[in-house]
Amino acid sequence: MSQFEDLNRLLAQGIISRREFMGRATALGATAALSSTILSSPSFAAMPKQGGHFKIGMGQGSTTDSLDPATTLHTGTQIVNHAVYNYLTEVSNTGDLVGELAASWEASPDAKVWNMKLQKGVTFHNGKSFGPEDVIASINHHRGKDSKSAAKPIVDPITDISADGTDGVKFTLSGGNADFPFLMSDYHLAILPSKDGKIDATGGIGSGAFVLEKFDPGVKITMKRNPNYWKSGKGHFDSAEILVIADVAARTNALTTGATMAMDRCDLKTVHLLKRNKSITVTKNTGTQHYTLPMNAGRAPFDDVHVRLALKYAINREALVKTVLRGYGAVGNDHPIGASQLYFNKDLEQRIYDPDKAKFHLKKAGMSSLDVTLSSSDAAFAGAVDTAVLYKEHAAKAGINITVNRVPADGYWSNVWMKDPWSMSYWGGRPTEDWMFSQAYAAGAEWNESFWNNERFNKLLLEARAELDSAKRREMYGEMQKLVRDDGASVIPMFASYVGALAKNVGHDKMGANWDMDGLRCMERWWLV
Amino acid sequence: MALGLIVLFVVSLIIFLGVELLPGDLAQAMLGQQATEETLAAFRKELRLDLPMHTRYLEWLFNILHGDFGRSLANGREISELIGVRLGNTLFLALFSALIAVPLSLTLGILAAMYRNSFFDRAVNILTLSSISFPEFFIAYILIFVFSIKLGWMPSLSNVSTETPIGERLFVSLMPALTLTLVVVAHMMRMTRAAIINLLASSYIEMANLKGLSRARVILRHALPNAWAPIINVIVINLAYLIVGVVIVEVVFVYPGLGQLIVDSVQKRDIPVVQACSLIFAATYIMLNLTADILSIITNPRLLHPK
């Protein structure tokens, strides 16, 4: 274990490269997935223990936060959702899909109709017993013309939901989707108790491991254990509180002085100092979160695939991971599928920094030099502006002149992203390939940030979605990753890890990498030793 | 008073227009990267953001005249309830800091004037000027580093709530109050010193000295009463600062005051909350200025009859 730690320190300090790290880690007998989580396992094998008061400091959180799952925006409220509410399905800590309120499910052969059998004997915090009507009302909260839900594009393909007996729900979709149960684990789609076919979206009543006591948005959220929780082996704290501590130095101080027991979003610039503290463990999870630089494929010069390739060869990914992420991440290969995902294409060659190849593609595009403007703001991700400036230096060697246009973080998503020809963005990632591709790469998708339209890709996407044979899907998703990598209009230089810190007395199993904070389920999964 | 009300009205209009001019609106801020045209439209309709600007302003004005601050657009909570607790926290911290800072700076100022150009005078000046020159967050971090991390005497978080008992509240608020004290002391102390020294050149002070009065008596009984007016004005400006300008200290110590609320609300374009907060801030300034005028006149009735 200590050898890994040494390796990781060398990596963080830039003494060895990422590639070397992976090589040496493999030599030590670690798989890629293991070496990314190896550091975070002090209480790995310990048995969960009941009791205690858990305090966590979260970086995101605002007075304007709401309990309405339709507008859940950031990790601060996402973990509240997963503590207070349950979902139909859950992505487990090993990345598999398991049932939560849905006990089991089966699809029609064309994957258009889904029958879900619901858990029996579940009661909400207000005493109402859980039934199909709650599922229908909760999902309908996000559907329909008047929906303001951020999850609307996810539930839009549902044409009908109906009860199937007293413990079943039938979903009818407009097109086949083999990943439909995965979609139901989305953090917006919480199941709340219904009353007359409607849910009280801001009432804070769910069936989760914790009963909400006080919701003081932007300050503190307190909850106590649900004594009637239906899941066994989950929800260990007697009570818990989430403190919103926006300032990273204050958040770190709170953890080091024992005022909190966990924090998210460590300051990567100082995390090596935090690691020296013997009573604290720094956790790192590299999953699906990645940073993108989407070009508008419909506008010159980005409509030429050679220009896009030139730009992709002109970025030094290793250097960015080393400097911007301080080693807490992995290089990207210009497609959005993470190495931990089921259908990740292992045979695809990693694209590296190659100014000569960039020049070659520029020549193919009929240019000797290229002037482009990249709009950048730290609203896209922490370190976005630094990334843009470094990229400018890398690209200059290939005869590409990037002008970095620094824009305000305020209103970035509404005024710059998908408006300027070339901007920066991030994706928390989605648990399935189909989900990621359909939201951000399918032609006509609301968030197709690069306005990319590839006929073959779009055809494969529809076919793979309705395909239930796993081997065939692997082949199709493999080809799609290649298409996005070689023809797509997004430069995807890196996958960023979630870096948090825990006091030594916080116990946990292997952490989920699908989202931050143990797949957002830290409240019900962690315990105090 | 009438003038004050007009100022409040103008402030509310400027703030409203200012927030309107900012790019984006609440629906976009709340949905962020996940917004789509349809959901934005539905969101705006629900919040009545699709109505023209003047309609929304007049509606708001009508309600406020009837004592109704309205609800937060972002989470539907009553603004009066949202602000009530926070305003209490802010006032508590301001009062606490003022109780430390005002007596301290008056004492230091008077002593500095008494022992003018002495080592004591120089030392006090250098110390207070250095503390005002550092950014607030830097002072806060230094205090946290020394008292929370190295010595472990004080908590680094001051997240008080309504249930916090008064003793504990004073204890956890001490560090933010000290930070604020260090920031405001220099201004008040130097004004006290300057106002007194200014008077020491007057002939009636010379008379008092010639009578053989002690230095302390000359300054406290003869000079100070005439120096109150400018000192009060500076104290009041600093009090207003303690109420409206402490957002950075709030963030560093995670103290739930009004500053954090208004920053959050501006970011999300939650206009009714921004409006309510700015009205409170504007009213604070107006009230404190009024108080300063009244107090100045009480200490020096000659001000009622300008030459």
ipTM confidence score: 0.82
Rounded to the nearest angstrom, the minimum Cα separation between A495 and chain B is: 18
* pLDDT, position A280: 94
- Give A260's pLDDT tier (boundaries 50, 70, 90): very high
* pLDDT, position B23: 74
Residue A32 has pLDDT above 60, yes or no: no
- Give A223's pLDDT tier (boundaries 50, 70, 90): very high
Question: Contact A414/B252, CB-based, under 8 Å?
Answer: no
Place of tokens 């003038």: B3
Structure tokens at B61: 């004005």
Angle of helix B79-114 relative to helix B271-299, nearest 10 degrees? 30
How many helices, marked H, and strands, marked E, lie in chain B?
A: 14, 0
* pLDDT, position A259: 92
B260 touches chain A (CB under 8 A): yes
* pLDDT, position A1: 39
Question: Contact B22/A410, CB-based, under 8 Å?
Answer: yes
* Cα A487 to Cα A295, A310, A364, distances in angstroms: 12, 11, 15
Residue B76 has pLDDT above 60, yes or no: yes
* pLDDT, position A20: 53
* pLDDT, position B2: 77
B117 touches chain A (CB under 8 A): no
Facing residue for A243 by CB, picked from B144, B159, B273: B159
**Measured distance between the N- and C-terminal CA atoms of chain B, rounded to whole angstroms:** 24
Instruction: Tell me which chain B residues have a C-beta less than 8 angstroms from the C-beta of A147.
Output: 38-39, 42
Q: Chain B 129-188, CB below 8 Å of chain A: which residues?
A: 141, 144, 148-149, 152, 155-157, 159, 161
Instruction: Tell me which chain A residues have a C-beta less than 8 angstroms from the C-beta of B36.
Output: 152-153, 446-447
Average pLDDT on B125-138 reads 91
Facing residue for A63 by CB, picked from B35, B40, B261: B261
- Give A43's pLDDT tier (boundaries 50, 70, 90): very low
Query: Omega before A301 cis (within 30°)?
Result: yes
Question: Contact A247/B254, CB-based, under 8 Å?
Answer: yes
Q: Are A288 and A231 in contact (CB under 8 A)?
A: no
Instruction: Tell me which chain A residues have a C-beta less than 8 angstroms from the C-beta of B37.
Output: 446
A263 vs B25 pLDDT, higher one: A263
Which has the minimum average pLDDT: A208-217, A333-342, B295-304?
B295-304
Dihedral of CA atoms A401, A406, A411, A414 in degrees, nearest 10, equals 0
Instruction: Tell me which chain B residues have a C-beta less than 8 angstroms from the C-beta of A67.
Output: 75
Question: Contact B264/A447, CB-based, under 8 Å?
Answer: no
Average pLDDT on B248-254 reads 90
Question: Contact B251/A63, CB-based, under 8 Å?
Answer: no
Q: Are B130 and B189 in contact (CB under 8 A)?
A: no
Q: Are A256 and A277 in contact (CB under 8 A)?
A: yes
* pLDDT, position A16: 52
Question: Contact B148/A253, CB-based, under 8 Å?
Answer: yes
Q: Chain B 50-89, CB below 8 Å of chain A: which residues?
A: 72, 74-76, 82
pLDDT digits (tens, 9 = 90+) for A78-134: 999 999 999 999 999 988 899 999 999 999 999 999 999 999 999 999 999 999 999
* pLDDT, position A45: 47
Rounded to the nearest angstrom, the minimum Cα separation between B102 and chain A is: 28
Residue A402 has pLDDT above 90, yes or no: yes
Contacts 24+ apart (CB under 8 A), B1-8: B4/B283, B4/B286, B4/B287, B4/B290, B7/B282, B7/B286, B8/B279, B8/B282, B8/B283, B8/B286
DSSP string of B123-135, one letter each residue: HHHHHHHHHHHS-
Question: Contact A411/B252, CB-based, under 8 Å?
Answer: no
* Cα B288 to Cα A64, B241, B303, distances in angstroms: 30, 11, 18
* pLDDT, position B27: 80
Residue B59 has pLDDT above 90, yes or no: no
Question: Contact B30/A64, CB-based, under 8 Å?
Answer: yes
Structure tokens at B304: 């009622």
* pLDDT, position B307: 65
pLDDT digits (tens, 9 = 90+) for B138-148: 999 999 999 99
Question: Contact B75/A64, CB-based, under 8 Å?
Answer: yes
pLDDT digits (tens, 9 = 90+) for A443-496: 888 889 999 999 999 999 999 998 888 999 999 999 999 999 999 999 999 999
Question: Contact A254/B157, CB-based, under 8 Å?
Answer: yes
Q: Which run of H or E residues covers position A211? A: strand A210-216
- Give A171's pLDDT tier (boundaries 50, 70, 90): very high
Residue B67 has pLDDT above 70, yes or no: yes
Instruction: Tell me which chain A residues have a C-beta less than 8 angstroms from the C-beta of B265.
Output: 63-64
Question: Contact A148/B39, CB-based, under 8 Å?
Answer: yes
Question: Contact A257/B152, CB-based, under 8 Å?
Answer: yes
Find the residue in B nearest to A255 (Cα): B156
Find the residue in B nearest to A252 (Cα): B156
pLDDT digits (tens, 9 = 90+) for A144-168: 888 888 898 889 999 999 999 999 9
Structure tokens at A438: 């359909």
Question: Contact A218/B264, CB-based, under 8 Å?
Answer: yes
Top residue of B31, B48, B149 to mutate, by most chain A CBs within 10 Å, is B31
* pLDDT, position B68: 83
Interface of A with B (CB under 8 A): 62-68, 71, 73, 145-150, 152-153, 202, 216-220, 243-247, 249-250, 253-254, 256-257, 259-260, 410-411, 413-415, 417, 425, 446-447
Question: Contact A243/B264, CB-based, under 8 Å?
Answer: no
Question: Contact A244/B268, CB-based, under 8 Å?
Answer: no
* pLDDT, position A2: 44
Instruction: Tell me which chain A residues have a C-beta less than 8 angstroms from the C-beta of B43.
Output: 148
Find the residue in B nearest to A449 (Cα): B33
Whole-number mean pLDDT of chain A? Answer: 89
Average pLDDT on A250-266 reads 93
* pLDDT, position A8: 52
Average pLDDT on B146-175 reads 90
Highest mean pLDDT among A424-433, A488-497, B213-222: A488-497
Top residue of A56, A64, A216, A267 to mutate, by most chain B CBs within 10 Å, is A64
Average pLDDT on A230-248 reads 93
pLDDT digits (tens, 9 = 90+) for A467-476: 888 999 999 9
Rounded to the nearest angstrom, the minimum Cα separation between B267 and chain A is: 7
Residues in chain B, total: 307
* pLDDT, position A24: 52
Instruction: Tell me which chain B residues have a C-beta less than 8 angstroms from the C-beta of A80.
Output: none
**Measured distance between the N- and C-terminal CA atoms of chain A, rounded to whole angstroms:** 21
B158 CB-side CA count, 13 A: 26
Question: Contact B264/A73, CB-based, under 8 Å?
Answer: no
Question: Contact B42/A147, CB-based, under 8 Å?
Answer: yes
Facing residue for B31 by CB, picked from A65, A67, A71: A71
Instruction: Tell me which chain A residues have a C-beta less than 8 angstroms from the C-beta of B252.
Output: 247, 249-250
Q: How much of chain A, in percent, has pLDDT values that exceed 70? A: 91
Q: Where are the alpha helices (DSSP H) in B201-223?
A: 203-210, 215-217
Instruction: Tell me which chain A residues have a C-beta less than 8 angstroms from the C-beta of B35.
Output: 150, 413-414
pLDDT digits (tens, 9 = 90+) for B173-195: 999 999 999 999 999 999 999 99
Instruction: Tell me which chain A residues have a C-beta less than 8 angstroms from the C-beta of B261.
Output: 63, 218
- Give B215's pLDDT tier (boundaries 50, 70, 90): confident
Q: How far apart are CA B269 and CA B277, in angstroms?
A: 13
* pLDDT, position B1: 65
A29 vs A320 pLDDT, higher one: A320
Find the residue in A nearest to B140 (Cα): A250
Facing residue for A219 by CB, picked from B42, B75, B159: B159
* Cα B286 to Cα B18, B123, B247, distances in angstroms: 21, 36, 20
Facing residue for B36 by CB, picked from A152, A219, A243: A152
Question: Contact A250/B34, CB-based, under 8 Å?
Answer: no
Rounded to the nearest angstrom, the minimum Cα separation between B86 and chain A is: 10
Instruction: Tell me which chain B residues have a C-beta less than 8 angstroms from the C-beta of A68.
Output: 75
Q: In what order do the strands lie in the sheet with A158-163?
A: A102-107, A113-118, A168-173, A158-163
Residue A301 gets the label, from left (phi > 0), alpha (psi -120 to 50) or beta, of alpha
